[in-house]
A and B are shown apart, each in its own frame.
With several copies, the nearest count.
Chain A
């Protein structure tokens, strides 16, 4: 069954203590190339079919429930043509879908 991927990230201007904690710990381990970490969520939503109506519905859910617009942004809603795990190692195509 097709999967729609929704990516949600904390708003850039707000605190992300969890990301900060990971970045701090990496810095303490001497990982000098890494200057920042932010932690968001990735939703994999299995749908029975993909069409504009379904996509519109998922987009709506992404805005109203999967994210809280006061503190988070939905940064992407797209159809995963393949599960990324299946094609790790090669560039994979995902059709990005506008919000």
Chain B
């Protein structure tokens, strides 16, 4: 259909027929032509700005590029002014091990011994609602390509998921699709899935959150940045062919105003091909290893528009492309659609002409299709030709870097005072053993505290042979160096309920929890990536939530002295006018000298002493207890004390290095009760526990002791013979520690003088919710 060789009957008319390129020349000749900028998501003033930059109206190809690159998703136009804090609020210590910071495809952290680790978390929320399987699958595919573009070998993935109410009729569809999509794509890539989160809350009903994280490792000398330097270097597109995937909107350009026939049907979904991506990974790693590329950029959102303009902006600034050289899956695609296509499993490389033959040989070995599109220039312009005619001629920085920046209106939500005043402390708390037992089991069997094996049994954590910890442990841990045992640990956390009550504190709570989860694994926290999921930035209250959360996170990272190395913002997560709870998912990466010293999260032996580190206050606002038992959300979330978190992490590291700690498990949702139950369930070893000393020391009641979600607390088990040393360690560091029980050969959890639950019953209750909602747990 696209036939430029046939001169169209309309060629001389102001509106060329579909398929004939809207050239720069044509744009200059027809300055007043109407363009569908609004349908492409551009505001009138943004369109005016583009005209001003170009000194003429944009061609339809240029309009395509600006519209996708200036979208919220690609330009961060609403969030930019806030995200700058992550770069500014840094101490010298935070920069020490940072090889690449914010702004690149993914941050890179020096982990010692010549090794570096890169990691990033990204959202694929909206596609995962439309088509959960492909949406989630391509979410994994996209984040993994970011990792490869840094020169790293991807070695692990994680997934942080939030779905609507577990019993909503639509939830099963989304859960089945998203989980099997992640399982399919990650498993086929050979990347162990080492952890994540699974939450259910009606606020995510028609807006599930699918956040995917990938980690890669590299030697220091293998680090690559995606930029296009060196005039004369070739620009090569390789990987899958370009098709009509994910360009639903782009068809408007190609049709609405240009074609009498109306828009062609172009799908908004993308289909993933993990096999193609696996081959692409190996191919890229070989290209890097043989030093055949100057840089590689992944193609994600905004496809070729993004890759060309970013590569050019980050390099010498000029690039010449012949767009008709792009290999197509669907020959009917127009130039605009090719520029916007989000077809998966594609990469763009900058290759020195002398190395092109060798480059092509490697690509051929992997059966990957390639085409040389053009070359790097020193003109400062990104020039794109389509069958010999110039359809794009722009300064790439105006597309990729100097997009619009908004300081959107911010408004303190009027409802928040009333919400905060409505504290859970006023709710009736159980006192009898029987009541406590009943509520404890209801909590354990609630969707968010329940066993997630329905999900995680579908994920391979074995592949690679380096996974030292994975679900259900607090953090995932992977060995980097087989000789020394050097490794990393990662955990992700966010609690939307806390963030709804107080987004600043909520963000810090997410940070504190992820930090603690890494610390209890035996690793030392080193860096942060985040995925900020919020409602519409055009809603001033949402913007306030966002500003609070970012500030809290940036301040928190500075206090903990771990840098934010990158992340992702996802706005417009709402159903109708109702935004989701603010959900800043925080991923913390830690380093461990030898993964053989990792700490299990559950009890493996009878007769160990159980210690509770930290103190407990009446902090039930926003807690699992208030939600599950009273369907209540109000008050102020638990206090955060990051200095204490740091002290706690150091204490555990010291205990681990002296091998005093048999297990450690952090306290978070569901409080002490949930941590006890999970420690039992991990290996089926029971325990006898008493609460009186907590009650006495901290001045709380039994329900608070069990269910409060006070922070900076960890449950630790210590072999008898190390008891004295361990106590000494805690005293020496001034960290409150109470012996609250012993592990037991009896398969039951006994809370002395209050109640006992057999391990079998704990297990049954814990496993029930997901199986009831989604079908039997495979392999159980």
Contact = CB atoms under 8 A, between A and B. Distances in A.
Whether the complex brings A and B within 8 Å at their CB atoms is answered: yes
Interface of A: 10-11, 13-17, 20-21, 24, 28, 68, 70-71
A44 B377 CA distance: 45
Contacts of A21: 275
Interface in B231-249: 240, 243-245
A20 B243 CA distance: 13
A70 B131 contact: yes
Nearest to A21: B275
Closest 6 CB pairs of A and B: A17-B273, A15-B271, A70-B131, A13-B244, A14-B271, A15-B243
14 contacts: A11-B267, A13-B265, A13-B330, A14-B243, A14-B269, A14-B271, A15-B240, A15-B344, A17-B275, A17-B276, A21-B275, A70-B269, A71-B131, A71-B267
Contacts of A24: 367
B130 interface: yes
A28 B272 CA distance: 23
Contacts of B243: 13-15
A15 B269 contact: no
Interface of B: 130-131, 134, 240, 243-245, 265-267, 269-276, 329-330, 343-344, 367
B296 to A, nearest CB: 22
A19 to B, nearest CB: 11
Contacts of B273: 15, 17, 20
A68 B131 CA distance: 9
Nearest to A12: B330
Contacts of A16: 271
A24 B273 CA distance: 14
A17 B273 CA distance: 6
Contacts of B245: 14-15
A95 to B, nearest CB: 28
B262 to A, nearest CB: 16
B130 A70 contact: yes
A20 B369 CA distance: 12
**Chain B CB within 10 A, most for which of A13, A21, A28, A68:** A13
Given A13-B244, A15-B329, A71 B269 contact: yes
Contacts of B265: 13
Contacts of A20: 273, 276
A79 to B, nearest CB: 23
B286 to A, nearest CB: 19
A99 to B, nearest CB: 17
Nearest to B274: A17
Contacts of B272: 17
Contacts of B267: 11, 13-14, 70-71
Given A11-B267, A15-B329, 14 more contacts: A13-B266, A13-B330, A14-B267, A15-B243, A15-B343, A15-B344, A16-B271, A20-B273, A20-B276, A28-B367, A68-B131, A70-B130, A71-B134, A71-B269
Nearest to A10: B271
Contacts of A28: 367
Contacts of A10: 271
A20 B368 CA distance: 12
A15 B271 CA distance: 6
Contacts of B344: 15
Contacts of B367: 24, 28
B185 to A, nearest CB: 11
Nearest to A13: B244
B3 to A, nearest CB: 18
A10 B265 CA distance: 15
Contacts of A13: 243-244, 265-267, 330
A20 B344 CA distance: 14
Contacts of B134: 71
A48 to B, nearest CB: 16
Nearest to A11: B267
A14 B272 CA distance: 10
A70 B130 CA distance: 8
A4 B683 CA distance: 51
